[in-house]
Amino acid sequence: MFARLTAKAVLAAIALRRGDLKAAAQHIQASQARPSPAGVACAATWDTIVAAQIEEASDGAKAALGQLASVYTELDTHRFLLTCEPTSASWLVRTALAAGDPQRARTVALAAADIARSSRELDVAAASAAHASGLLNRDADRLEQAASGHRDPWARASAAEDLGALLATTGSRRDAITRLGHAADGYEASGAARDAARARKRLRRLGVRRRHWTAENKPDTGWPSLTATECTVAELVSQGSTNQQAADQMFVSMHTVAFHLRQIFRKLGISSRVELTRIALQERPDVDEGHKVT
């Protein structure tokens, strides 16, 4: 039953990691429209977490925190979320800190630590607690423990990114670059295009530019001629994003988005966003029929 209830939430999380916020929002709305039966509160909590993650991606940590009050409060007595989805602990800590609420961040870290102490046989619990504690206390050793202890590739990448970001602020530029490179690689291997783009942006701030595309035999014009990056720009713009909003979602500059948009218009033989939206709608199936993500 839990699997059926959370299927749409899982699809929403996948779409979010790929950078398709519109599909993510549609999936989570469909999930929340189905009432959870008695005894399956964990499904509703998971829906809330994913919805807040989408909100954070769109409008920032403070907006997400508004949806999470009950989640933080219930951690004292109901910790199924941190047990079922260990990566949620680090995200909840990171979001609370970004929103200027260290007390809530501390509540999560303490709960994760309690779970790790009572479940010493679970490596994933130890990694989750180390990740949460490392973020809260800006402890590079604990983040290193998380980066090596997480079994899930995306979780390892997340811990590596947090470690790299911390090292970048302490003057350890070379180590920061190494960790952020590991994060970008891990995200890319997991299909998490949005997270990989964020890691690459952190690397650019350190003066490192990474090639993240592969040579392909593509036609010169038409939708199939668009690169993966151009497809992402086309999707965001066709969904109503401004150049600045698209840049924020892709972790690139507005000038980069404008450049790609010019390339898209040239390849498609169009001159307006209205025409781009029409073509994108033709190329993109309805989300409930298997939303196309490129």
Tens of pLDDT, residue by residue over 87-133, are: 999 999 999 999 999 999 999 999 999 999 998 888 999 999 999 99
pLDDT band at 197 (very low <50, low <70, confident <90, very high): very high
Q: Could you tell me the pLDDT band of residue 36, with boundaries at 50, 70 and 90?
A: low
Cα end-to-end span (Å), the chain = 31
Q: What is the largest CA-CA distance in the chain?
A: 62
Going by C-alpha positions, the residue among 73, 19, 21, 94 that lies closest to residue 51 is: 21
pLDDT classification of 291: cutoffs 50, 70, 90: very low
Give the pLDDT of residue 1. 37
Closest CA to 203 of 187, 183, 221: 183
pTM exceeds cut of 0.75: yes
pLDDT bin (cut points 50, 70, 90) of residue 216 is: low
Q: Is 265 exposed, middle or buried (0-12, 13-18, 19+ CB in 10 A)?
A: middle
The region of weakest confidence among 31-45, 50-64, 195-209 is 31-45
pLDDT at 75 over 60: yes
Residue-wise pLDDT tens digits, 153-191: 999 999 999 999 999 999 899 999 999 999 999 999 999
**CB-based burial label for 110 (10 Å; 0-12, 13-18, 19+):** middle
Who's near 243: CB < 8 A, 6+ residues apart? 237, 254, 257, 258, 261
| Among 159, 168, 242, 166, residue whose Cα is nearest residue 207 | 168
Question: Domain limits of the chain?
Answer: 1-59, 223-289
The stretch 220-228 carries a mean pLDDT of 88
pLDDT one-digit tens code per residue, 268-280:
999 999 999 999 8
pLDDT in tens, 124-139: 999 999 999 999 999 9
pLDDT of residue 148: 94
Residue 215 above 50 pLDDT?
yes
**What CATH number belongs to 223-289?**
1.10.10.10
